[in-house]
């Protein structure tokens, strides 16, 4: 999974040839298919969520085709998502076959129903689950596309699932005009940190949405498509959206991330919380002072608190979030919580093979044992956080990681490569230095999301810790911050693009 110095220098040469020099020249330069294949392969190899040893990659006219096999559905979807984040990729055809552990259809169905019942956001939905040779069919009715999507995500968390057909019907309850729908889509695009909405046109005709324009990556096209499914939408056509990797230059992005008045940020955060099915039913108080958000209120599950914090952090213009939300779960005995968390860990396809011990005291979950990666450690914590009755999680899982024998120079070159192929990062504005595996990042970026992307790429490149000295938007008052891969407060490092 690690590159030799020679391979790294060759890849670096290719990247420099493509991305350096006059921007106008770079735009005229097409990224070659073999360069994309190399970049996608390296991205999959360093990602802890995908075991890529049996995945084959090809590209024709910048359309990536993934084939081969993986052990579970989450890995299949994750591989396609990561491929979409590479500069130059116009689309992804996912022909990867899922080869899960053998389980009976009845056990898979039972575990999916239990997973839906134990998740605080889906436990009230009336969903029918049909399983045939590992292929899952979901039926029922919910009130939003986000809720329908959440049901699929919960079903994906069960081992043995090969594929999912989501036939859940969305009943919006009220009719909406095309102008209302268009306005809602525009608002969601404005508040999506990964979409440049100024480059997209939206038309709505009798509930049918058509998107056109330009985006900077295949994953941004997916985000724009997902954002377009607001109340009242019957279908979304994104075929007229073109992927052009150079569109995210400074002139086109800066308006989204200029400093905004606190009242405007407050309204934006409140809007985002209303779109999230995990937070919409709670009365969460939002206050903003100098772009720092404070969240207060009471929720009945830990995942709602975490989701609210992440939603606020993802709002363009927000610099920091203080999450003071109190979790007051329903009265469920610690023994029952312990059984439910243990069951969820055992049916999850990512961590089920590890012996994770669960203790619960006063609604706080304690996790003990060992896993193979920091991703698995944080994934186990994420599973526990989604179980009804859990108020807090202390994660004491050890990581049995293979020692990294690469030199600091190799780590540095790998990080430079990761940054160069990231669709969201302007790598020319970031300097990288490495001392005994600890990476220092310096420079200036447009926004917090570009900063977070740079930190993620540093970890993917082999950093044991990141000393983050990046300044956002030219600000000089931000403190330096050292981040570690097992930092339990920063879930975004591990769930980047997972959903």
Task: Give the domain CATH number at 234.
Answer: 3.30.300
Same domain, 148 and 193: no
Same domain, 182 and 226: yes
Average pLDDT over residues 433-448: 88
Domain boundary among 98, 115, 136: 98
Whether 17 shows a pLDDT value over 50: the answer reads no
Please report the pLDDT score of residue 374 as a whole number: 87
What one-character DSSP code corresponds to residue 86?
Answer: B
Domain boundary among 239, 255, 271: 255
Contact between residue 72 and residue 99 where contact means Cβ atoms under 8 Å apart: no
Q: Residue 175: which pLDDT band, with cuts at 50, 70 and 90?
A: confident
Contact between residue 269 and residue 314 where contact means Cβ atoms under 8 Å apart: no
Whether 252 shows a pLDDT value over 70: the answer reads no
Give the largest CA-CA distance in the chain: 65
Please report the pLDDT score of residue 1 as a whole number: 44
Residue 12 lies in a domain: no
| Residues with Cβ within 8 Å of residue 74, at least 6 apart in sequence | 49, 156, 157, 349, 350, 498
Average pLDDT over residues 12-33: 55
Residue 26 lies in a domain: no
Please report the pLDDT score of residue 210 as a whole number: 97
Please report the pLDDT score of residue 480 as a whole number: 58
Stretch among 217-226, 255-264, 435-444 having the lowest mean pLDDT: 255-264
Residue 9 lies in a domain: no
Domain boundary among 81, 98, 115: 98
Same domain, 94 and 145: no
Residue 301 lies in a domain: yes
Please report the pLDDT score of residue 248 as a whole number: 65
Please report the pLDDT score of residue 23 as a whole number: 47
Contact between residue 464 and residue 440 where contact means Cβ atoms under 8 Å apart: no
Whether 212 shows a pLDDT value over 50: the answer reads yes
Same domain, 475 and 432: yes
Whether 405 shows a pLDDT value over 90: the answer reads no
Q: Residue 317: which pLDDT band, with cuts at 50, 70 and 90?
A: confident
Residue with tokens 């439910």: 340
Same domain, 300 and 246: no
378 vs 105, 236, 279, 350, 361, CA distance in Å?
29, 34, 21, 11, 20
Please report the pLDDT score of residue 239 as a whole number: 95
Average pLDDT over residues 448-473: 86
Backbone φ, ψ for residue 478 (5° rounding):
-90, 135
Please report the pLDDT score of residue 30 as a whole number: 78
Whether 105 shows a pLDDT value over 90: the answer reads yes
Stretch among 15-19, 66-70, 116-120 having the lowest mean pLDDT: 15-19
324 vs 251, 301, 309, CA distance in Å?
37, 14, 9
Stretch among 1-5, 368-372, 412-416 having the lowest mean pLDDT: 1-5
Whether 214 shows a pLDDT value over 90: the answer reads yes
Same domain, 63 and 131: no
Instruction: State which residues form the domain around 413.
Output: 408-493
Contact between residue 300 and residue 294 where contact means Cβ atoms under 8 Å apart: no
Rounded CA separation 170/396 (Å): 40
Please report the pLDDT score of residue 483 as a whole number: 63
- 3-state DSSP call for residue 165? strand
CB atoms within 10 A of CB 333: 11
Same domain, 348 and 302: no
- Residue 179, classified by CB atoms within 10 Å of its CB into exposed (0-12), middle (13-18) or buried (19+), is exposed
Average pLDDT over residues 120-124: 90
Q: How many domains does the chain have?
A: 6
Contact between residue 165 and residue 137 where contact means Cβ atoms under 8 Å apart: yes
Whether 3 shows a pLDDT value over 80: the answer reads no
Rounded CA separation 120/278 (Å): 8
CATH number at residue 138: 3.30.70
Please report the pLDDT score of residue 264 as a whole number: 94
Residue 13 lies in a domain: no
Same domain, 483 and 453: yes
Rounded CA separation 35/427 (Å): 18
Please report the pLDDT score of residue 258 as a whole number: 66
Whether 184 shows a pLDDT value over 50: the answer reads yes
Average pLDDT over residues 51-60: 94
Average pLDDT over residues 46-54: 89
Please report the pLDDT score of residue 173 as a whole number: 75
CATH number at residue 474: 3.30.1340.30
Residue 50 lies in a domain: yes
Rounded CA separation 155/350 (Å): 13
Same domain, 441 and 462: yes
% of the chain exceeding 70 in pLDDT = 86
Q: Following DSSP, what letter does each residue of 206-244 receive, concatenated?
A: TTEEEEEEEESSHHHHHHHHHHT--TT--EEEEEEEEE-
Residue 224 lies in a domain: yes
Residue 274 lies in a domain: yes
Average pLDDT over residues 227-251: 86
Please report the pLDDT score of residue 450 as a whole number: 84
Rounded CA separation 307/313 (Å): 10
């Amino acid at each position: 999974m690690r590159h030799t110095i020679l391979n790294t220098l060759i890849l670096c040469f290719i990247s420099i040839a493509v991305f350096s020099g006059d921007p106008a020249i770079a735009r005229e330069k097409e990224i070659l298919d073999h360069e994309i294949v190399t970049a996608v392969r390296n991205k999959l190899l360093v990602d802890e969520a995908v075991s890529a040893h049996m995945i084959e990659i090809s590209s024709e006219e910048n359309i990536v085709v993934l084939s081969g096999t993986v052990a579970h559905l989450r890995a299949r979807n994750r591989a396609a998502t990561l491929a979409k984040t590479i500069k130059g990729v116009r689309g992804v055809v996912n022909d990867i076959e899922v080869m899960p552990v053998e389980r009976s259809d009845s056990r898979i169905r039972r575990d999916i129903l239990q997973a839906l019942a134990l998740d605080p956001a889906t436990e009230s939905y009336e969903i029918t689950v049909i399983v045939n040779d590992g292929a899952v069919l979901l039926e029922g009715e919910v009130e939003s596309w986000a809720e329908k999507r959440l049901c699929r995500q919960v079903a994906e968390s069960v081992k043995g699932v090969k594929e999912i057909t989501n036939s859940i019907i969305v009943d919006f309850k009220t009719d909406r005009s095309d102008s209302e729908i268009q306005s809602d889509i525009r608002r969601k695009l404005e508040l999506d940190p990964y979409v440049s909405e100024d480059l997209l046109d939206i038309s709505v005709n009798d509930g049918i949405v058509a998107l056109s324009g330009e985006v900077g990556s295949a994953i941004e096209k997916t985000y724009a498509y997902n954002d377009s499914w607001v109340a009242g939408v019957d279908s979304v056509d994104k075929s007229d959206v073109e992927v052009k990797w150079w569109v995210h230059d400074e002139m086109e992005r800066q308006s989204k991330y200029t400093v905004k008045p606190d009242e405007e940020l407050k309204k934006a955060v409140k809007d985002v919380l209303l779109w999230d099915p995990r937070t919409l039913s709670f009365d969460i108080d939002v206050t903003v002072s100098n772009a720092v958000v404070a969240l207060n209120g009471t929720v009945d599950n830990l995942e709602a608190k975490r989701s609210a914090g992440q939603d606020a952090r993802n709002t363009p213009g927000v610099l920091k979030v203080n999450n003071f939300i109190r979790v007051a779960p329903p009265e469920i005995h610690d023994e029952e919580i312990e059984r439910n968390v243990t069951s969820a860990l055992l049916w999850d396809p990512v961590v089920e093979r590890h012996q994770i011990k669960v203790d619960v005291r006063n609604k706080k979950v304690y996790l003990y044992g060992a896993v193979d990666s920091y991703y698995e450690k944080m994934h186990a914590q994420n599973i526990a956080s989604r179980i009804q009755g859990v108020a807090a999680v202390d994660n004491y899982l050890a990581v049995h990681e293979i020692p990294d024998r690469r030199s600091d120079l190799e780590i540095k070159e790998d990080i430079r490569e990761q940054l160069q192929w990231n669709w969201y990062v302007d790598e020319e504005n970031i300097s990288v230095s490495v001392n005994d595996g600890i990476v220092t990042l310096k420079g200036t970026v447009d926004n917090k999301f570009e900063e977070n992307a740079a930190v993620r790429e540093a970890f993917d490149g082999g950093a044991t810790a990141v000393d983050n000295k990046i300044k956002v938007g030219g600000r000089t008052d931000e403190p330096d911050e050292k981040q570690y891969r097992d930092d339990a407060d920063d879930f975004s490092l591990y769930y980047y693009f997972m959903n």
